[in-house]
Chain A
Amino acid sequence: MLLGPALAISAVLFTLGVAGVLFRRNAIVIFMCVELMLNAVNLTFVALAQGLGVAGQVFVFFVMAVAAAEAAVGLAIILAVYRHKQSVSLQNMNLLKDG
């Protein structure tokens, strides 16, 4: 009954996350947009678990574990980059760029 609305809302949330990644430059905000995308996927898992069994809810656990690991390592990388460049803007992260 709630499947259609839930999938529609999660599609909108995922798209907002993608848009945020595309038009922001701050690395931390881009990270938050990635978390938003992961949460949109969690919503589809929970919505489908209602009709297909609790395995969908178990998968949300794994998504949360991966999100926590990703947040910890990603924020550590941002801290290390900030120490070098004094900035978290992706514009200044061009070490591999030619010239």
Chain B
Amino acid sequence: MILTFFWIFGVIAMGSALLCITRKNPVASALWLVVTLFALAAMFVLLDAQFIAVLQVLVYAGAIMVLFLFVIMLLNLGRPGPSDIKGPVGVLIAVVLAGAMLLQLRVLGDATLAEAVRLPPGTVAALQQQQGMVGAVATPLFEAYLVPFEIASVLLLAAIVGAVVLAKRKL
């Protein structure tokens, strides 16, 4: 049952990703990417990561995609014009290279975890029962990963300053 739903959302994600990279209009591309991100959020729920799914919808489908659509509309790129997709030779090279990459990544489909490193089934679910959905992720984030967390905050500050400096005409 869960596997069926997982494949349904997976097919939605893959199909809308394919439409995202082939649509001529950037606005259509962005909206298909939003569909992909929502399907991924549903898959995160099926993988016992409900909090990550909420963040996916809020941060990715909400904030980041709004930023993309805002820039597309600010630059008025939605109007019909010549396609930005490369000619037949470019598409052929891209498809061959991507196909070679998919062949190499195909083995991931039959991957299994070794007994020695795998947690007993239901360990993560039990932890989430005990500490709550948010607590199970927040405890390691603020204990074992506290320094990377602070570095991420510095990175975001640098990104804010950099974006303002780059986008402003005159400081």
A residues at B contact (CB < 8 Å)? 1-20, 22-26, 28-29, 31-33, 35-36, 39, 42-44, 46-55, 57-58, 60-62, 64-73, 75-80, 82-83, 88-89
Contact = CB atoms under 8 A, between A and B. Distances in A.
Majority DSSP secondary structure for residues of B touching A = helix
Contact of B98 (A22, A67, A68): A22
Interface in B63-107: 63-64, 67-68, 71-72, 74-75, 77, 84-86, 90-91, 93-95, 97-99, 101-102, 105-106
Given A17-B17, A35-B33, A36-B36, A57 B49 contact: yes
B98 A18 contact: yes
Contact of B47 (A17, A35, A47, A77): A47
Given A25-B84, A31-B68, A32-B20, A65 B26 contact: no
Contacts of B155: 65-66, 69
Given A2-B6, A9-B14, A39-B40, A49 B59 contact: no
30 contacts: A1-B3, A2-B3, A13-B13, A17-B17, A19-B21, A19-B97, A22-B93, A23-B86, A25-B85, A25-B86, A32-B30, A33-B21, A36-B17, A42-B56, A43-B43, A48-B113, A50-B48, A52-B117, A54-B124, A54-B127, A57-B49, A60-B52, A60-B55, A61-B149, A66-B155, A70-B159, A72-B67, A72-B159, A76-B162, A83-B169
Contacts of B51: 57
Contacts of A7: 108-109, 111
Nearest to B158: A69
A73 B77 contact: no
Interface residues of B, number: 86
Contact of A69 (B95, B148, B159): B159
A12 B109 CA distance: 10
Nearest to A38: B60
